[in-house]
Amino acid sequence: MGGQGEPPEGTSEGAPAGGEDEYRSVVFDESFVRAARLQEYSAQERMGDHAHAVRRRAVRHRYLSKQAVILVLLIAVAFGTAIYMGVRHPYQNPVAQRPESLRMTVIPLAPPGPVPGAEKSAELYEHSPAAQFRVGAKGINLPSAHRTSHFSDGQVMSALTTAKDYLVESSLDPDVLTGGTVRSARILLDPQQLDQFDESFAHPAADGRHAPTGWLVRFDPTKTALATPGIRVNGTLRATETDRNTLEVTSDHTFVYALRPAGEGDHVKASLFTVRRELQFRFDRDDLRMHQAELLVSYTQAGPLTCSADAVNQLRPLLAGQKAKAGGPAGTDPYATGAATALCGSLAEGAQPSF
């Protein structure tokens, strides 16, 4: 008898000692056999109608664990939330409000007598109500900016600064005053008001909507020249919040210009010309970000002018020694507060230099 584990006949001749099978290394275990995708038919099955010796076994699907499924769902939810937040802001976007058309009024003020003149502009200013006014942009003082319910200190200051810049460019720039460029004032306006602005200069009209002198101060360069670039200015700026998305700035300034006839030397007498401008600006959040403004109301009193003068396209002041043919219904002081309602007023005597 052979030993335990040996064939009855004993170890075959030529077999390795100890009964080791030289093919043991290529014998597959049971798990490998079960995992095989091809399976040979049994002898009994091959006796049937099977044409093939093997069959394909169904592949067992491996299912993810619950933890893996939960992780995948969490990632999907986070990814979807990120996309949603990127497309839609969680806060309500302000409704864009279309800028209104500028409403403008220009009132000429006729002098009661001849316009006072002097050879030196400083002498004129010294004897006028503008004696204590500051020169140029220094006369447009910015008030302290205080936060509102929905706007920060910086946003309020941005509105005030933009309003001041518009006043400087539209009332103090020598190129604008002498009928030259208008671009420096134009670029400070909300883009949706530019059509009205351009139409005003292309086709001026006394309709309360399309007067160039409602947008800015400019003189007829063929008749008038600046006697000195030092324009005297005094006035106020005030900012208020009208709703959660809008700031308004109201300006009230008096500008006093020293003028002389165009094309003549410095030997001719100069005279003063006074323009009081009351402007109302509106700012939405885009205007604040872009350093632009919507100009809603422009109210101007200017003199000395004649009531018959065309004050729509350009201002044609009465210069030293000239006088108006007829005055308006009442004496109007452009240095005083209050709004005139006449189409032409009479310039108060106290509003001119007195010698």
Residue 92 in this model has a pLDDT that exceeds 60:
no
What pLDDT sits at residue 65? 73
What pLDDT sits at residue 21? 56
What pLDDT sits at residue 236? 96
Residue 351 in this model has a pLDDT that exceeds 80:
yes
Kindly report the average pLDDT of the chain as a whole number: 83
Average pLDDT over residues 123-147: 95
What pLDDT sits at residue 321? 93
Contact in structure between 168 and 140 (CB atoms under 8 Å): yes
Type of residue numbered 205: A
What pLDDT sits at residue 123? 94
CA–CA separation, 70 and 79 (whole Å): 14
Average pLDDT over residues 289-305: 96
Q: Residue 175 — φ and ψ, nearest 5°?
A: -65, -35
Average pLDDT over residues 105-115: 93
Give Cα 41 distance to the centre of its chain.
81
Tell me the two tokens of residue 36: 């095989």
Give Rg (Cα) of the chain.
45
> Residue 177: in which H helix or E strand, if any?
helix 174-177
How many CA atoms, within 13 angstroms, populate the side-chain half-sphere of residue 316?
A: 13
3-class secondary structure, 334: coil
Task: Summarize pLDDT for 247-268 with one digit per residue, the tens.
Answer: 999 999 999 999 999 987 768 8
What pLDDT sits at residue 327? 47
Average pLDDT over residues 203-221: 95
> Residue 258: in which H helix or E strand, if any?
strand 246-261
Instruction: Work out the percent of the chain whose per-residue pLDDT is above 70.
Output: 73
Average pLDDT over residues 329-342: 55
Residue 8 in this model has a pLDDT that exceeds 70:
no
Average pLDDT over residues 300-308: 92
User: Which tops the pLDDT comparison, 215 or 50?
Assistant: 215
Q: Which of 294-303, 324-333, 340-349 has the highest mean pLDDT?
A: 294-303
What pLDDT sits at residue 27? 58
Task: Summarize pLDDT for 64-73 with one digit per residue, the tens.
Answer: 577 777 888 8
Residue 6 in this model has a pLDDT that exceeds 70:
no
Whether the predicted model's global pTM rises above the 0.75 cut:
no
